[in-house]
Amino acid sequence: MPDTANNAPPPEVLSKECRIFIAGHRGMVGSAIHRSLTDAGYKHLIVRTHAELDLLDQRAVHKFFADIPIDYVILAAAKVGGIHANNSYPADFIYQNLMIEANVIEAAFRNGVDRLLFLGSSCIYPKHAPQPMREEDLLSGHLESTNAPYAIAKIAGIKLCESYNRQHGTHYRAAMPTNLYGPNDSFDLENSHVLPALIRKYHLAKLAAGSDRKESIERDTLVFGPLPDDIREALQDPKESLGNNAAATGPVVRLWGSGSPQREFLHVDDLASACITIMGLSDEGYRRLCRNEPRPPERSADGATEPDLSASAGVSHINIGVGTDLTIRELAEIVSSVVGYEGETVWDASKPDGTPRKLLDVSRLKRTGWTPLISLAEGIHATYRWYLEKSAAG
């Protein structure tokens, strides 16, 4: 995990004695933040499993906050998934995410929690936003249709934090990470994001070429979940494709889309260090980070000049990313090399690509001195090692 000592928060803002509730501590993001805070010496971390606290249950959430003294909330709990999951369950994505964030933020406020960090996603930006996407680009155009319900829920979370701050003087902050990956990610091929899906598909194709493919694939499914029918059927014969390409002479991996969309990827441990940096900023430091430079006045039709008040007011969230991207096709080449897969990759252009490009402008965050420390190749190697260890452990 990256060393965050250079970004250590001031003690008056985030002291080691703070009682911090991490909502979603078992997920990829929440678990990384929990590890990072634990390693940094925070001893009063409060967590609850879904069985212990259902964040969709408003009454239960309010009771929890009323019963447990809490100084800071990190809202990392969310329903997440890739293009297929967003296309298949749009009502689940908008309803569950709206309810989670509304329940937690309102209960936190009602029970005197003054500080909160809400985590969203880079999909909040318009489909054709200028690249790299600045915080100011929020709500400047149409969203990508495949994940619009999820994006709208995350935008609502930003506006909830902004509105509570305006009306009640709270110090609720919002951070929008780019595409994330790392340990504890979901490798469910029906619902996962692109990078974990690539790791598992290439790994399964590699297993299909081995002599003990049946036992190895069964062990993989026990750990990481069942396979879609087309992939399960293809894996029964190593000469068939991982996607039903009957002309293949060996295991073939079939991937959605053209491979041309560009994406940015951040290791979840780097995200955790960025979150600690944002949490540790003083109130004035955070306001300064969110403030926009005033733009030149715009001239109206009658010749009068009018200041751009929206620009001078600032933004309500901070981007978290690496500032560079690559195509999905290039990503697939890196993953296949890391996994050691030597077969063919087939691209199914009949499937949706999603947003053409999603690169974040991270200049605001970098003003704090924070920088990501884990390269993409290093992070994919580490994630695949975690995958293999998890699979071996059963």
Question: CA separation (Å) from 172 to 114, 160, 280, 370?
Answer: 7, 9, 12, 20
Q: How confident is the model at residue 237 (pLDDT cuts 50, 70, 90)?
A: low
Kindly report, residue by residue over 7-49, the tens digit of the pLDDT. Answer: 444 435 688 999 999 999 999 999 999 999 999 999 999 999 9
Q: Give yes or no for residue 257 having a pLDDT over 60.
A: yes
Domain assignment present for 35: yes
Q: What is the pTM of this model?
A: 0.88
Domain assignment present for 393: no
Identify the pLDDT of residue 87.
87
Domain check: are 242 and 351 in the same one? Answer: yes
**Residues belonging to the active site:** 150
Domain check: are 23 and 159 in the same one? Answer: yes
Domain check: are 128 and 141 in the same one? Answer: yes
CA atoms in the 13 A half-sphere facing the CB of 280: 23
Q: Give yes or no for residue 221 having a pLDDT over 90.
A: yes
Q: Give yes or no for residue 201 having a pLDDT over 50.
A: yes
- At what angle are helices 58-67 and 90-110 packed, to 10 degrees? 30
Domain check: are 14 and 115 in the same one? Answer: yes
Identify the pLDDT of residue 5.
40
Amino acid found at 176: M
Mean pLDDT confidence for 355-359? 89
d(CA 80, CA 309): 35
Domain assignment present for 241: yes
Domain assignment present for 384: no
Domain check: are 71 and 216 in the same one? Answer: no
Domain check: are 147 and 29 in the same one? Answer: yes
Domain check: are 313 and 331 in the same one? Answer: no
Contacts of 130 (CB under 8 A, 6+ apart): 137
Comparing 105-109, 110-114, 125-129, 229-233, the range with the smallest average pLDDT is 229-233
Domain that holds residue 111: 5-184+265-323+360-374
Domain assignment present for 135: yes
Percent of the chain with pLDDT strictly greater than 90: 73
CA 203-204-208 angle, to 5 degrees, is 120
Kindly report, residue by residue over 262-272, the tens digit of the pLDDT. Answer: 999 999 999 99
Domain assignment present for 388: no
d(CA 94, CA 101): 11
34-38: long-range pairs with CB below 8 Å, 24+: 35/1, 35/269, 35/272, 36/1, 36/4, 36/269, 36/272, 36/273, 36/275, 36/276, 37/272, 37/276
CA 50-99-133 angle, to 5 degrees, is 105
Domain check: are 317 and 332 in the same one? Answer: no
What is the domain-level CATH number for residue 118?
3.40.50.720
What is the domain-level CATH number for residue 232?
3.90.25
Domain check: are 50 and 149 in the same one? Answer: yes
Domain assignment present for 162: yes
Domain check: are 166 and 280 in the same one? Answer: yes
Comparing 152-156, 230-234, 297-301, the range with the smallest average pLDDT is 297-301
Domain check: are 255 and 289 in the same one? Answer: no
CA 175-181-182 angle, to 5 degrees, is 115
Mean pLDDT confidence for 56-74? 98
Domain check: are 108 and 75 in the same one? Answer: yes
Number of folded domains that form the chain: 2
Domain assignment present for 140: yes
